[in-house]
Amino acid sequence: MPSPTIAFIGLGYIGLPTAVVMANHGLKVTGIDINAANVERINRGEVTIVEPGLEEQLQKAINSGNLKATTEVVHADVYILAVPTPFKDDYEGDLSYIMAAAENIASQLVGGELVILESTSPPQTTEKMAQHILTLRPDLVADGAENPENKPVLYFAHCPERILPGYAMEELITNDRIIGGQTPRATEIATEVYGSFCTGELLPTDDVTAEMAKLTENSFRDVNIAFANELSLIADKLGIDVWELIRLANHHPRVNILQPGPGVGGHCIAVDPWFIVSADRENSNLIRTAREVNDGKPEWVINKVRDAAGSAPQPVVAALGLAFKPNIDDLRESPAMDITQRLAQELPGATVLAVEPNVSALPAKLEGIGNLEFDTYENAIERADVVVLLVDHEDFKAVPATALAGKQIVDTKGIWR
């Protein structure tokens, strides 16, 4: 049986690496994205995100002919949707990107295709996506549904990604993968797709359990980070070094406390717990409280900077790091970027120097703020009265103590202790 053709909808932090890995394992992949400039760059073999090893693998995929990018939806045997799923002001999931992608592929379907949702989603989103497609295409029917008219059948599955940015090219292949088909046949087809490149264990389940599993993984981490962040608040009030406290506690054979920071960012951990909360507000008290602790940490950091600046009429503040985690350019849901923006807006007379070595210019969210500048970390530290360490990039770990002499330091990651 020939390998299925793949149409990958969304070529961002998840979609592009996954499409590249699939193509380099022999699948014919068409990457589809609405950003025409990015599509052109990808077809030239130029990466659009920072991910170690991606550029070389992208060029290999393009040169082999197994990967091409386009803004136009094409027909394929398998459609994989990896589009954003933000949340609304009430923390309900915003499914508009998923539904728009579903609408775009609906006209291409003839029956027999598998539609896989990879986007991290609230429970029952795969079913809602399927129903949306079938409403647009009443001549088709979902596998497992009653089909007295013998209509062509579609298959649906949820197969969440679970990779760590910065390690995507390895973890896409080696991580275990949850395969959540709406029916056993959908699970079987999806397993064949992921089995073509994934050496990790393929774990069959249903679509709703697969959706909930991804949310559970990230909520587990969020709760544990919240514990560390709450400890940091308590330790600060008691005059204790929280990193020393955690180091000592972790010597217990059954204790493994994570490290505190300025908050929690990224599209997953900062978002996914709210999808569980919105699905069952009555029983998600611990998950909601953890989110509130982590969402509240930036306010604590800002107050620390305000105290460090003291009564200086025109303090210069160097905000080191804008990404949501070390050594990448991903700014999604980044507490560091929110803190930097608020420092510029809320410190009267201050000049804030934004530093992010993994991007080449000030992000759009921070443009137009008169007292905020983009700078290198060397220059920013030299100019600053207050240095705020927000992301533990390798560049910042190498800053010599002499460069920090005489500065007020707010180190949210504990790297300059």
Nearest to 116 by CA among 41, 236, 18: 18
* DSSP result, 92-154: -B--HHHHHHHHHHHTT--SS-EEEE-S---TTHHHHHHHHHHHH-TT-EETTS--TT---EE
Is 209 in contact with 183 (CB distance < 8 Å)? no
List 268, 297, 325, 413, catalytic entry: 268
DSSP one-letter code for 360: S
Helix axes 54-64, 36-43, angle to 10 degrees: 80
Specify the 3-state DSSP secondary structure of 289: helix
Parallel, antiparallel, or unpaired for β 78-81 and 408-411?
Answer: unpaired
Is 74 in contact with 5 (CB distance < 8 Å)? no
Alpha helices in 137-281 (DSSP H): 168-174, 184-195, 207-238, 242-249, 272-279
Annotated catalytic, 214? Answer: yes
Annotated catalytic, 198? Answer: no
What is d(CA 288, CA 272) in angstroms, rounded to the nearest whole number? 11
List 68, 214, 304, 325, catalytic entry: 214
Catalytic residues: 214, 268
